[in-house]
Structure 1
Amino acid sequence: MSTEDNVDVELYDRQIRLWGMSTQKLILKSNVLVVNLNGVGTEIMKNLLLSGIGNITVLDEHVIDIEDVNTYYNQFFIYKSNIENMTGKVKRLDIAEANMKDMNPRCNLTTVTSDTEKLLLDKTFLNKFDLVIITEILDNEFLCQVNDISRELNLPIYITQSYGLSSMIFVDYISRISISEKLLDIKNDAVQIERETEMISKGHFPVKLTKNTELVSKELVNNEEDGNMKLVMKTLNKFISYREMIEKLSTEECISNQFNNRQLRNLKSNTTIPFMLNSLNPNIFSTDEYFNKCKGIELPAVAAIVGAALVQDFISSLNKTKLINNLLLFDAKNDEMPIIEI
């Protein structure tokens, strides 16, 4: 086994090739809190464990109910053999813990099966973590309180909610620098290189790219190996709180300003996305009885996509590439996944 600063290079060879050794080291050092091992929570845990995460605390006081799709049919950390002789009430984590440890024995895994709400409002408890991921909580006022505390602690947070064939991810990194690189061919991209060189020489930064994103700097770097150039752009991404998001969703202008007329018509005619927005602020967006019955219901395929998207975004935060800013809506029925910058 070859190692580099405690990173098993052979084990994580494929992902090191994808995002680099420095990012893999940061994954190993990260300390993440995951709230609730429901369908999305299970997918998030799987992806975190397989990525080589160093430290995870899972907070979940739910009891297993084999009649509940969210607590059994979406689970692959709870096997049929684990529960076929089960008697009485058993917590999800009490059974899932051993199977999670089997997936990544190197991870320092801690489970907590009580006082979820109390701990999520405890600054001392939250301050131990680098990231908080919340699933299966639909009380928006409580989520606002937790996010208020996380912002006070400068602690990034993800919040996910499920609605049957649909799901959402709210992201709050408060403020984060992202770096992107673009390869330019000296011959074919000569005009762009000239234009970028002029802009860089004038130093007209920052430049407002979107309502929450500013271009901080640009740099052209010569690639001596192939004779091409690399355009390196640094952006400052500002995020809003969960409370601010709900307040801003009180007007249609918040949405309409981000899309052209065709996109806006498609969005409003979509049979799911307005209903998700309604769940965040019922004053402006339409809903229906069927969608309301889907709140909190999870389907395995939807959970898998949302869990993977969330963990990929977390890894992007470590290697300083582009992040979800700040509301992702996944609609499996219409095969759409727009990101709305609130």
Structure 2
Amino acid sequence: MGENIGNQLSAVEAELYDRQIRLWGIESQEKLRASNVLLIGIRALGSEIAKNILLSGINSLTILDDGVVTKEEQVKNFLLYPDSIGKKIADEVLLKGRALNPLVKIKVDTDSPASKDQSFFKKFTIIIATGIKTDLLLKIDKICRANNVKLIFGDVFGFFGYSVADFQEHNYFEDQVQLTGKGKKRKHDGEEKTTVKVQGTINYPELKKVIILPNTKQNADCIKKTKRRNDLFFLMLTLIEFRNKHNRHPLVSSKVEDIKSLQAIRKDVFELYQVDQSKSSLFDDLFEIIFDEVVPVCAILGGVIAQEAIKAVSHKEVPINNVFLFDPISYDGKEETIGA
């Protein structure tokens, strides 16, 4: 899995990454230094993920996207130039991407993600996916599980965003501060503090047990048993199914038709999960704010997804298990454990 390179940091790397080495330690930085990352999709969200991943100090980033730059995309994507319109988006982000961190190897691939076989996906340490349909996502997840490759995917729809991770059996460690003074109960009595490394394990379910949609043969019973599921989880499923049907985000230019499609999909999702149909009015309000990709939300989700990828590769700190939902009303994040 990945290229066989030495983990030891060079003097240049140690100087460049000095601040983050102080934050998460030399061992974690060396694991990042040895990692090879695949990013599927380099649109508004993907560009934010790429920025954070590149600055973290990985070994290599491969960008896979067969799209062409549109006028709308050029405005939203800070890695593009005004004259990029009409050109392959993966090629056009290369120059600014390399400028972010010249020490990271960046490769671009303008093939369709669906055209790639198992041998392509299995060589990476972690795969970060955006903007792909569920059937391809589940296919990639199966390959990842067979080859011990970690996977996280996510998308931004207007003011709403989410991520879902499958890090399989993930071992991590975190630093915890403990008091060492014996028989002393109060800090001002002179208790000393020490930092200890605490280890843990999270077992992630495969994605076919998390992303269960209407009109499939998948069994949703394990998720339906959870009585107090966050409503945003069902919004996520509705939007994922919209992409499966239309291969795009909902658009302002086709707002009336797209909302009708979303309402029909929501009805099927609610029936599958036996959700109270009275929640429909809430979703009608949310449907008004899920069009296109809102750049500030892409920046937030890009930071979250990159942070989780860094945790997965470095095995430092506790990652989200396993769904992150960005609330478009309160602008805060909600964590959900689905399918475990």
TM-score, shorter chain, exceeding 0.5 = yes
Extract unaligned runs of 5+ from structure 1: 192-225
Is the partner of 2:161 in helix, strand or coil?
Answer: strand
CA contact (8 A) 1:34 1:134 kept: yes
2:235 aligned with 1:275? yes
TM-score by length of 1: 0.74
Cα distance, 1:33–1:274 mapped onto 2, change above 3 Å = same
* Residue 289 of structure 1, CA deviation: 5.7
In structure 2, what is the Cα distance between the partners aligned to 1:338 and 1:9? Answer: 35
- Structure with more strand by fraction: 1
Identical-residue share of aligned pairs (%): 24
1:249 positional shift: 5.2
Corresponding residue for 1:42?
A: 47
Aligned residue for 1:101, secondary structure, equals helix
TM-score (norm 2): 0.74
Letter of the aligned partner of 1:299 in structure 2? V
1:173 partnered with 2:167? yes
**Pair 1:22 & 2:27 matched:** yes
User: Alpha-carbon deviation of 1:250?
Assistant: 5.6
Aligned residues of 2:44 and 2:76 also touching (Cα < 8 A): yes
User: Match of 1:6?
Assistant: 10
Cα separation, 1, equivalents of 2:149 and 2:105: 20
Within the alignment, does 1:56 sit opposite 2:61 as a pair? yes
Give the deviation of 1:189 after TM superposition: 8.6
CA contact (8 A) 1:47 1:307 kept: yes
User: Does structure 2 conserve the Cα–Cα contact (< 8 Å) formed by 1:163 and 1:291?
Assistant: no
Q: 1:241 aligns with which of 202, 206, 231?
A: 206
Aligned residues: 283
For residue 316 of structure 2, what is the aligned residue in structure 1? Answer: 320
Distance 1:292 1:148, change over 3 A: farther
TM-fit CA distance, 1:294: 6.3
How far did 1:255 drift? 3.9
User: SS at the partner of 1:62?
Assistant: coil
- 1:302 matched to 2:304? The reply is no
SS in 2 for 1:129: coil
C-alpha displacement at 1:180, in angstroms? 2.9
The AA in structure 2 aligned to 1:72 is Q
Residue 124 (structure 1) aligned with residue 126 (structure 2): no
Q: Counterparts of 2:36 and 2:48 in 1: how far apart (Å)? A: 18
Displacement of 1:333 in angstroms is 2.2
For residues 56-135 of structure 1, the aligned pairs below 5 Å read 56-66=61-71, 68=72, 71-80=73-82, 82-83=83-84, 89-119=86-116, 122-135=117-130
- 2: CA distance between counterparts of 1:182 and 1:98? 41
> 2 CA distance for matches of 1:105 and 1:230?
35
| Cα deviation 1:229-268 (Å, max 9, x = unaligned) | 5565322210011111134756764543xx6xxxx6xx45
Residue 190 of structure 1: CA displacement? Answer: 6.7
Cα shift readout 1:127-159 (whole Å, capped 9, x = no counterpart): 11111010012x223322221221122211011
- For the residues of structure 2 that align with 1:335 and 1:178, how far apart are their CA atoms? 28
Counterpart residue number, 2:176: 182
CA distance in 2, matches of 1:320, 1:48: 15
The answer to whether the Cα contact below 8 Å between 2:181 and 2:192 also exists between their aligned partners in 1 is: no
Q: Among 328, 332, 336, which residue is 1:332 paired with? A: 328
- Per-residue deviation, residues 158-183 of structure 1 (Å, max 9, x unmatched): 11122211111010011011223322
User: Are the counterparts in 1 of residues 9 and 33 from structure 2 also a CA contact under 8 Å?
Assistant: no
Please tell me whether the aligned partners of residues 161 and 296 of structure 1 are also in contact (alpha carbons under 8 angstroms). Answer: no
Unaligned runs of 5+ in 2: 1-7, 186-190, 213-218, 242-268
- CA drift at 1:124: 0.6
Mapped contact 1:56–1:107 kept (Cα < 8 A): yes
* Closer, same or farther: CA 249–333 of 1 in aligned 2, 3 Å: farther
SS at match of 1:105: coil
Equivalent residue, structure 2, for 1:214: none
